[in-house]
Structure 1
Amino acid sequence: MVGLIARAGLAFGVLLTLAALLLLLLTPSGTAESSVSALTVGLGLFLILITSIALYIERNRR
C-alpha cells in the first residue's frame, strides 16, 4: 500500500515540477509569478525526493 501511494506521489511530484519549470521559463524574472513558480519547483523536487526514499525503503523491506 505504501508503494502505491509513493508511486502516485512520485508521479504528482514530476508533473508538478515539470509544469512549474515550464512556467518559470516563460514568466519574466523578478515577478511574483516567477517567485511562486520557483517555490513550486522546489516543493516538487522535495516531493520527488521524499517519495523516492519511501519507494527505496519499501523495496528493501521485501
Structure 2
Amino acid sequence: MSKSKDTLKCRKQEDVSKMVKHMNGFKEILDYQKENELISAAAYGALYDVTETLIEKWE
C-alpha cells in the first residue's frame, strides 16, 4: 500500500473514532433528557436505536 493510501486510511479511522465518540456523547444527552422528562419515551427509543445502529455500523 502506498504512503498516501496509508495516510488516508489512518485519517478515515480517526474520523470514525471521532464520530463514534460523538454518538456516545449523544446517547448521554438522550439519557439525561429522558431522566428529566424532557423527551418522550417514543422519541428517546427511536433516537437511541438509530444511534446504536450507526455506532455498530461504524465500528
TM-score range, shorter chain: 0.5 to 0.7
Matched-pair contact (CA < 8 Å) for 1:27–1:33: yes
Structure number with the bigger relative contact order (C-alpha 8 A, sep ≥ 6) is: 1
What's 2:32 paired with?
22
Structure of greater Rg? 2
For residues 34-53 of structure 1, the aligned pairs below 5 Å read 34-52=41-59
TM-score by length of 2: 0.62
Consecutive unaligned residues of structure 1, counting only runs of 5 or more, are 53-62
Matched-pair contact (CA < 8 Å) for 1:20–1:37: yes
Deviating beyond 6 angstroms after TM superposition, the runs of 4 or more aligned structure 1 residues are none
Q: RMSD across aligned C-alpha pairs, in angstroms?
A: 2.0
TM-score by length of 1: 0.60
Identity %: 4
